[in-house]
Chains A and B, each alone.
Chain A
Amino acid sequence: HLGVTPAILRARYNLTAADVGSGQNNSQAVAQFLEQYYHPADLAEFMAMFGRTFPHRSEVDRVVGTQGGGKAGLEASLDIEYIMSTGANVSTWVFTNPGRHESQEPFLQWMVLLSNMSDLPWVHTISYGDDEDSLSTAYMMRLNTEFMKAGVRGISLLFASGDSGAGCRHQGKDKNTFRPSFPASSPYVTTVGGTTFKNPFKVTYEVTHYISGGGFSNVFKMPDYQASAVEGYLKSVTATLPPQSYFNTSGRAYPDMAALSDNYWVVSNRVPIPWVSGTSASTPVVGGMLSLINGQRLSKGLPALGFLNPRLYKLKGQGLFDVTEGCHQGCLDEQVQGKGFCAAPSWDPVTGWGTPNYPALLAALLS
């Protein structure tokens, strides 16, 4: 193949043409913050080009906020086109938060909005993050509480793990540490990392995408649900672990899972664009599949998945393809020589538990 399209994703993750939403009582959303607007014509063109093999929708059901005019943003185009490709035929919303006043913070506006709407989509994917060290602890702690508020309502929040691997923060001469990203590092969201095909031109097994964000929070302590998995990783990969001065072994570790994040095709401003990469791509892909699972659960009278991590970590990789090859990037210095963490059997801070094998994940999450 010549890049990742919905058909390639659906083939890799074993989604058949019948694995689409039934359209009842289920919805999903993407949130945009940077005056990133999707264009309905792009979505229609994308689906006409790439959506022929599965039933799908070609229109967004609801835009919350002001849908701007002018040029479409690549990010918005990517998010909406791919959540509607794996979460096909599921009612889809776009939250667009450009910040009406010059003093507004778009991300905060979105969080406030969630506290004011009683009926929300069950799954939200967000491809946005900042370095933890650029944000105040007071702000992150409060947002973490806001994520809890969403989770307790049964809403699944998925965040991209970032595109800088373990990241790198220079702390003076010859002293570097890895640089975690927030909200990816919040213990109350599900964070999605990235992979690439072993053979970029075939639907093969997946290996680590070197950009995949991951690591350990310096702000949030490790939640109980992941303690055993992370401990297992730290004990099993001692030979490839970076020096402990680079990361906080007692912090919230991320990502939680992953999906392909390399070589996507996106239609933006009516132009099909190849070679689009980032965990911005993998996050809506996972979000769409969780929406399908929610649809199946709701049709059986079960509640929505809600905050997934406690259940995901109890599955111990069941329903997922384990990614065990490759490392992501870290600091370019003598000690770690550009390397961050490496993937390993079971959970790892590059690809989490792995990538979805849809029918197996559905079976695991339907019980």
Chain B
Amino acid sequence: SSGYLEYDQDVLLPKDWTHVGRVDPSEEVELTFALKQQNLELLEETLRLVSDPGSAQYGKHLSLQEVASLVRPSELTQKVVRRWLQAHGVSNCRTVRTQDFLQCTMTAEVAEVLLPGSRFHRYVRDRRSIVRSSAPYSVHEEVHQHLDFVGGLHRVPPREKDVRVKHRPSKGEV
């Protein structure tokens, strides 16, 4: 109703992260904006063809430049997102060759205005400290349709990867 829309978001932080407190508004955060790509059906079909040994296209892989030509966000998407960021004074951004990600650095204060609803806090686990938002963010409806999600707000590194060292079992356990 306010002209802002939310994405589907995974807000809940695992309980093993300890809340330290709100970050200072002047602290920098880096957010990753995933811009809407084009031709995704064609990308999927191309992948099917180049990976299917029964296809004449099998093995005819694309270069990064060709992938970029295929999925690069539309001029409109790029313009709308950049204009939105600039309007909030966010100019420290870098893109990638496929132009479908923008990584921007800004203060937490600016980020919270840019993404209404977000509130940045610091959390610690073991010796690791991270800054994440405790609440879902929204973006203006004009921008919403041009983004897939904004990264750097919610997801945290897992505690362990898929490896373990087991103890030698005792005879009783066996």
Complex interface: stretch among A134-142, A231-239, A242-250: A134-142
Contacts known (A134-B10, A135-B10, A139-B149); A36 close to B161, Cβ less than 8 A = yes
Residues in A whose Cβ lies below 8 Å from that of B155? 105, 107-108, 130, 135, 139
B77 interfacial by beta-carbon distance below 8 Å: no
User: CB distance B167 to A115 under 8 Å?
Assistant: no
- How far does the alpha carbon of A20 sit from the alpha carbon of B71 in the complex, in Å? 37
Interface range for B: 35 or more
User: CB distance A152 to B161 under 8 Å?
Assistant: no
Tell me the minimal C-beta distance from B20 to chain A in angstroms.
11
Q: Which of B29, B96, B120, B148 contacts A138 (CB 8 A)?
A: B148
Tell me the minimal C-beta distance from B67 to chain A in angstroms.
5
Complex interface: stretch among A59-67, A96-104, A337-345, A353-361: A96-104
- How far does the alpha carbon of A34 sit from the alpha carbon of B51 in the complex, in Å? 32
Contacts known (A103-B130, A135-B155, A310-B53); A149 close to B7, Cβ less than 8 A = no
User: CB distance A307 to B161 under 8 Å?
Assistant: no
Complex interface: stretch among A42-50, A167-175, A269-277: A269-277
Q: Which of A105, A148, A273, A280 contacts B162 (CB 8 A)?
A: A280
B3 interfacial by beta-carbon distance below 8 Å: no
User: CB distance B151 to A153 under 8 Å?
Assistant: no
A112 interfacial by beta-carbon distance below 8 Å: yes
Tell me the minimal C-beta distance from B139 to chain A in angstroms.
12
User: CB distance B28 to A101 under 8 Å?
Assistant: yes
Tell me the minimal C-beta distance from B130 to chain A in angstroms.
5
Tell me the minimal C-beta distance from B164 to chain A in angstroms.
5
Q: Which residue of the partner chain B has the closest CB to A104?
A: B30
Some 14 contacts from A to B, beta carbons below 8 A apart, are A74-B165, A75-B163, A103-B30, A115-B97, A118-B64, A127-B161, A128-B158, A138-B9, A139-B151, A152-B61, A279-B162, A303-B60, A311-B52, A314-B54
Beyond contacts A115-B64, A148-B44: 20 other A-B pairs, Cβ-Cβ < 8 A, are A35-B128, A75-B163, A101-B30, A101-B105, A102-B122, A103-B30, A103-B153, A104-B152, A115-B101, A129-B162, A130-B155, A136-B8, A136-B154, A149-B71, A151-B47, A152-B43, A154-B50, A277-B164, A278-B161, A310-B48
Chain A residues with CB under 8 Å of chain B are 33-36, 74-75, 78, 99, 101-108, 112, 115-118, 127-130, 134-139, 141-142, 145, 148-149, 151-154, 160-163, 188, 213, 225, 273, 275-281, 283, 302-304, 306-311, 314
